[in-house]
């Protein structure tokens, strides 16, 4: 296997593991939040994806 592809695969596994870890910890911690807190988190999470989407769109991705 080409070295570059192997590196990309390893990067992919690393990034996926990090995201899975963060998602798991967040899901655990969200249990301790109040209902308004959960709603605020949901709104901000939507905001993160929307703004990142616009940013990547503007830089031409």
Residue 41 CB partners (closer than 8 Å, separation 6+)? 30, 33
**Taking CB under 8 A as the rule, does residue 45 contact another protein?**
yes
Distance, in Å, from the CA atom of 47 to the CA atom of 61, rounded to the nearest integer, reads 19
Judged by CB under 8 A, which stretch of 4-12, 16-24, 26-34 contacts another protein? Answer: 26-34
Considering the complex, state which of residue 2 and residue 57 has its C-beta at the smaller distance from another protein: 57
**Taking CB under 8 A as the rule, does residue 37 contact another protein?**
yes
Considering the complex, state which of residue 3 and residue 32 has its C-beta at the smaller distance from another protein: 32
Question: Measuring CA to CA, which residue among 43, 50, 46 is closest to residue 58?
Answer: 50
């Amino acid at each position: 296997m080409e070295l570059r592809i192997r590196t990309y695969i390893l990067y992919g596994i690393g990034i996926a593991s990090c995201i899975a870890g963060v998602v798991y910890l967040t899901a655990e911690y969200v249990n301790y939040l109040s209902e308004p807190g959960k709603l605020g988190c949901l709104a901000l999470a939507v905001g993160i994806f929307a703004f990142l989407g616009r940013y990547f769109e503007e830089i031409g991705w």
